[in-house]
């Protein structure tokens, strides 16, 4: 990921609101309307239930306090407005305190279909619905706590865990069949269709050590997805001795990439990578 974003977060007003412009309201509205259609039948029920609770407006970009109110009532989380890029220390610290960092900028029209940086639409539409679910919320909190005390090297492994769950996680549950819960997929029209229908990517059962050893690229459709059995599996993963899993992954070494090699960078905003 670029270390300097082409975007800047909007500053918050004293009353905690964001002054979205008419064109930003229009972008939000278009993004939301399009993606609501695309995720139908593909997103997991936990996500869809969360989305219903959030009741995101379709005619304007939402305010963070509207979303935080729902998160607070369901799992005790809140949104935290942040700059377009934040460092790992801030990222992990916020998660460990049940605060989800949301960059307060929206993509411009020329980036409507794809934007590498996680913008307001990605953070809110992609992630906040899942944060209303207790298992997902507990996993994310535990992830933040682990990251806070991890070394720089361990954080590189942790970035893969986040990538293949929170961002690009799939599930294949007995009740729902194949569904998507990763926000990197659900906020992207192309990746939603591809992750759900395409025969190209490899869909592997979730194995934490394998996840930690699997390289990824942020700027292509994923070549590998890891599939959990149901959302409560995230609780089991959070209870694992993850530092020991990282040590095992380290000793086994990285797996061969299944894509054209390019420097691995994380969608988690890195300052030290």
Interacting residue ranges for Fe ion, rule: CB under 5 A:
118
Q: H/E element holding 226?
A: strand 224-228
Residue entry with tokens 């194949």: 178
Nearer to Fe ion by Cβ, of 213 and 269: the residue is 269
Nearer to Fe ion by Cβ, of 100 and 206: the residue is 100
Shortest spacing between CB 15 and Fe ion, in angstroms: 27
User: Token pair for residue 83?
Assistant: 């700059």
Nearer to Fe ion by Cβ, of 166 and 242: the residue is 166
Which stretches of the chain are assigned E, i.e. beta strand? Answer: 78-82, 99-103, 170-173, 177-180, 202-205, 224-228
Taking phi over 0 as left and psi of -120 to 50 as alpha, with beta for the rest, 26 belongs to alpha
Compute the chain's Rg from CA coordinates. 17
Shortest spacing between CB 1 and Fe ion, in angstroms: 11
Shortest spacing between CB 21 and Fe ion, in angstroms: 24
Nearer to Fe ion by Cβ, of 50 and 118: the residue is 118
Shortest spacing between CB 172 and Fe ion, in angstroms: 22
User: Token pair for residue 30?
Assistant: 């278009």
Q: CA nearest 85: which of 125, 118, 121?
A: 118
Alpha carbon distance 246, 149 (integer Å): 14
Nearer to Fe ion by Cβ, of 100 and 157: the residue is 100
Nearer to Fe ion by Cβ, of 166 and 209: the residue is 166
Shortest spacing between CB 123 and Fe ion, in angstroms: 6
Alpha carbon distance 129, 81 (integer Å): 17
Shortest spacing between CB 93 and Fe ion, in angstroms: 17
Taking CB positions, which residue lies at the least distance from Fe ion?
118
For residues 139 and 239, the answer to whether their CB atoms sit within 8 Å is: no
Shortest spacing between CB 174 and Fe ion, in angstroms: 28
Alpha carbon distance 46, 132 (integer Å): 8
Instruction: Classify 17 as helix, strand or coil.
Output: coil
Span between the terminal Cα atoms of the chain, in Å: 9
Please count the other Cβ atoms lying within 10 Å of the Cβ belonging to residue 53.
15
Alpha carbon distance 156, 193 (integer Å): 29
Nearer to Fe ion by Cβ, of 182 and 233: the residue is 182
């Amino acid at each position: 990921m670029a270390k300097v974003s082409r975007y800047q977060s909007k500053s918050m007003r004293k009353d905690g609101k964001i002054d979205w412009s008419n064109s930003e309201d229009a972008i939000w509205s278009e993004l939301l309307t399009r993606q609501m259609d695309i995720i139908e039948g593909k997103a997991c029920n936990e996500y869809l239930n969360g989305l219903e609770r959030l009741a995101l407006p379709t005619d304007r970009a939402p305010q963070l306090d509207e979303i935080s109110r729902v998160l607070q009532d369901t799992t005790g989380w809140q949104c935290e407005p942040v700059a377009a890029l934040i460092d790992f220390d801030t990222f992990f610290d916020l998660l460990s305190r049940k605060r989800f960092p949301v960059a307060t900028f929206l993509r411009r029209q020329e980036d409507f279909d794809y934007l590498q940086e996680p913008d307001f639409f990605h953070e809110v539409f992609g992630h906040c619905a899942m944060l209303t679910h207790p298992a997902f919320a507990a996993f994310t909190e535990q992830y933040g706590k682990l990251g806070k005390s991890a070394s720089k090297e361990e954080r590189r492994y942790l970035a893969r865990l986040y990538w293949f769950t929170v961002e690009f996680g799939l599930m294949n549950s007995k009740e729902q069949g194949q569904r998507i819960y990763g926000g990197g997929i659900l906020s992207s029209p192309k990746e939603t269709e591809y992750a759900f229908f395409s025969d190209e990517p490899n869909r592997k059962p979730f194995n934490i050590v394998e996840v930690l050893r699997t390289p990824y690229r942020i700027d292509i459709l994923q070549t590998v997805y890891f599939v959990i059995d149901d959302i409560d599996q995230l609780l089991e993963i959070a209870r694992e001795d993850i530092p020991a899993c990282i040590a095992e992954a380290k000793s086994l070494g990285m797996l061969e990439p299944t894509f054209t090699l390019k420097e691995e960078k994380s969608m988690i905003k890195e300052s030290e990578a």
